[in-house]
Chain A
Amino acid sequence: MLNVENIVVSLQSGLEIVRGVSLRIAPGEILGLVGESGSGKSMTSLALMGLLPPGIGLSGGTIALDGTDVTRLAPHQRVRRNCGRMAMVFQEPMTSLNPVLRIAEQIEEAVRVHDPGIDPTARARELLDMVRIPDAAHQMRAYPHELSGGMRQRVMIAIALACRPQVLIADEPTTALDVTVQLQVLGLVRDLCDRLAMGVLFITHDLGVVAQLADRVAVMYAGKLVETADVAPLFRGPLHPYTGALMACLPDPESDRPDMATIPGSAPAPGAIPPGCPFSPRCARAAAPCRAGPVPRAQGAPGQTAMCHFPLTERAPA
């Protein structure tokens, strides 16, 4: 069970990129973290792993796995400790594997750390079978450049599974893949999550992917979570106008409108976040209270909350 409370990620200058994010992920549950580029979702995931790039650090909050706070450990110990519990799959399968090492070596390396007693080659075989790589014995001897994008992403998942994670963090793992391959990888993630009772934090900017895959959804905007809900109620009735606007942007095959909807304006950069509700400058429903002061938490269906003065379930302010 991963319990993230109020984490803040900031630059050395003090500029906050992630401004107090709280998440919970239960075993066997897929939490979809949705947001535009620059909303802080990747930084949130790197902060959980302890892999923030130099110059960016976790400056507040706690990350607890089964009750132990991992933020207190030194960075590399934390990666190590985390790794038995959390593992990560990255966005770019083309560059995330070491080009000069065979697939087998890259998986076995992780096996040796997390399963010291067992035969690494046999375990690597088993992992490649788990991620449904055909002809695993042969593919193990391949170098990354000899595999397709989908196959490389499966290898990345195999490496993550070698860490026997309780929580798998997947940062846009399918964004760089073809649509058909994307579906296969999503199916694989769902299946592994169920089979291994593993929690999954699935980061994406694609609401369509979330609708297919996730159990619960967290919507992120300008470094904060604006709405959290189970997937079904969210798609039936979003609370936050930003979530609503994102859904309006999904192409609807039954609509006659040829143009696609967009959200006017662009997401604020860190450091230029407006006071009050960060979405207020782009929000059609925004009124005076939205532009200053704290934003209240609105409740919707069971488990559904949003940070909004005037949620979509209520009448718009006059």
Chain B
Amino acid sequence: MGRYFLKRTGAAIITLIAASIIIFGFIHLIPGDPVYVMLGDGATPEQVALLRRRMGLDEPLVVQYLIWVGQALQGDLGQSIFFQTPVTEVIREGAETSILLALITMVWIVAFGVPIGILSAIRQGTWIDQGLSGLAMLMASVPTFWVGLYLILIFAAGLGWFPSSGYPSIFEQGGLANLRYLILPSLALAAPNAALILRLTRASMLDVAREDYVRTARAKGIRPARVVLRHILRNALLAVVSAFGFTFAALISEAVVTETVFALPGIGRTVVQSILRRDYPVIQGVILVTVCLYLVINLLVDLSYRLLDPRVELE
């Protein structure tokens, strides 16, 4: 277990170093001088020289990279050009919304996707299965913004059960009750993802149901429900759990459409706006944090694999 953990962590650190080089190189790949790009065409030579020195752009590339990494390790990702505040501050503000939104969305995905996938597999070929599969296809193909707009129309504008937009931080005012702002966005975001998890659960269950050990379990005379839960589901979930990890990471970095529809101050919107504002330090910072997030989630998925599947240690 310990060695396995060390090996996985080592691999994650190497990936992180490679990613950081690419992210660092990104600002130098932009056509033209990043300083001119940032300041615009009307900048005076004094302004350019000042910014260049402030950003350390007059140093050799390797030194620049090392300075950047060194500062990042100390939690300093530079200053936002647009906000004139530390990048970490900009990210922190978006992160609260994004992480909470992703967590609530995951709850829906697990609560709907997995049990309905199981039901679909048990009732394979019946009208229940076909109906659920059709519904899943529909959910997966309808755009999130459309689902979002309809949710707003029905539950916010029509019934008035939930607020239609915005999200005030739970740390500032309103406390946990503010989570109600995230209910509709998370449902919209969950729809296509829950549909994919549903299909994956179903397919994985049907795969495992053909295994020899399931026949052995049946031959013991144990109840069919127990065969499904203890023998089929446990093995089928191995494939689904890795999808949970990727889905969660994607929910944080790719929720921009949902964030826009519901006017949420999340990471996705921060990135898009920063790209429009050419706020490169923020873009770099968000990408670096997102890479770290993917690596941590992958590591957690690998470790959970180890707990779910005793064979993993040997491989």
Contacts and interface: CB of A to CB of B under 8 A. Distances in A.
Interface of A: 49, 51, 76, 79-80, 82-84, 87-88, 90, 92, 95-101, 109-110, 113-114, 143, 145, 156, 159-160, 162-163
30 contacts: A51-B215, A79-B218, A79-B219, A80-B221, A83-B221, A84-B221, A90-B212, A90-B215, A90-B216, A92-B212, A95-B212, A95-B213, A96-B212, A98-B216, A98-B217, A98-B231, A98-B235, A99-B213, A99-B235, A100-B235, A100-B309, A101-B230, A109-B220, A110-B221, A113-B221, A114-B221, A143-B310, A156-B216, A159-B216, A159-B220
| Complex A-B, nearest 7 residue pairs according to Cβ-Cβ distance, in ascending order | A83-B221, A110-B220, A95-B212, A80-B221, A98-B213, A143-B310, A96-B212
Interface string B179-208: 000000000000000000000000000000
A98 B231 CA distance: 7
A111 B151 CA distance: 52
Contacts of A83: 219-221
B221 A97 contact: no
B222 interface: yes
A115 to B, nearest CB: 12
Nearest to B125: A54
B220 A100 contact: no
Contacts of B216: 90, 96-98, 156, 159
B59 interface: no
**Interface-central residue, B216, B222, B238, by most chain A CB under 10 Å:** B216
B111 to A, nearest CB: 24
Given A96-B215, A109-B222, 17 more contacts: A51-B215, A51-B219, A79-B221, A82-B221, A90-B216, A92-B212, A97-B213, A98-B231, A99-B213, A99-B310, A100-B310, A101-B231, A109-B220, A156-B216, A159-B216, A159-B220, A160-B219
B211 interface: yes
Contacts of A99: 213, 235, 309-311
Contact of A113 (B212, B215, B220): B220
Contacts of B311: 99-100, 143, 145
Nearest to A113: B221
Nearest to A92: B212
Interface of B: 211-213, 215-224, 226, 230-231, 234-235, 238, 308-311, 314
Contacts of A100: 234-235, 238, 308-311
Nearest to A78: B221
B179 to A, nearest CB: 36
Chain B interface main SS type: helix
B235 A49 contact: no
Contact of A162 (B211, B220, B230, B314): B220
**Interface-central residue, B215, B219, B223, B311, by most chain A CB under 10 Å:** B219
Contacts of A101: 230-231, 234
Contacts of B220: 83, 109-110, 113, 159, 162-163
Nearest to B311: A145
Contacts of B238: 100
A66 B234 CA distance: 38
A104 to B, nearest CB: 13
Contacts of B223: 76
B213 A88 contact: no
A17 B247 CA distance: 46
A79 B217 CA distance: 11
Nearest to A162: B220
A88 B211 CA distance: 16
Nearest to B226: A109
Nearest to A76: B224
Nearest to A95: B212
Contact of A87 (B219, B231, B308, B310): B219
B50 to A, nearest CB: 62
A87 B216 CA distance: 10
Nearest to B210: A53
A42 B222 CA distance: 22
Contact of B218 (A51, A143, A156, A160): A51
Contacts of A96: 212-213, 215-216
A159 B224 CA distance: 18
A230 to B, nearest CB: 29
Nearest to B238: A100
A95 B235 CA distance: 13
Contacts of A162: 220
B212 to A, nearest CB: 4
A247 B238 CA distance: 48
Contacts of A110: 220-222
A57 B282 CA distance: 65
Nearest to B223: A76
A160 B234 CA distance: 23
Nearest to B208: A98
**Interface-central residue, B217, B220, B310, by most chain A CB under 10 Å:** B220
A113 B222 contact: yes
A69 to B, nearest CB: 18
Contacts of A109: 217, 220, 222, 226, 230
A99 B234 CA distance: 10
B310 A145 contact: yes
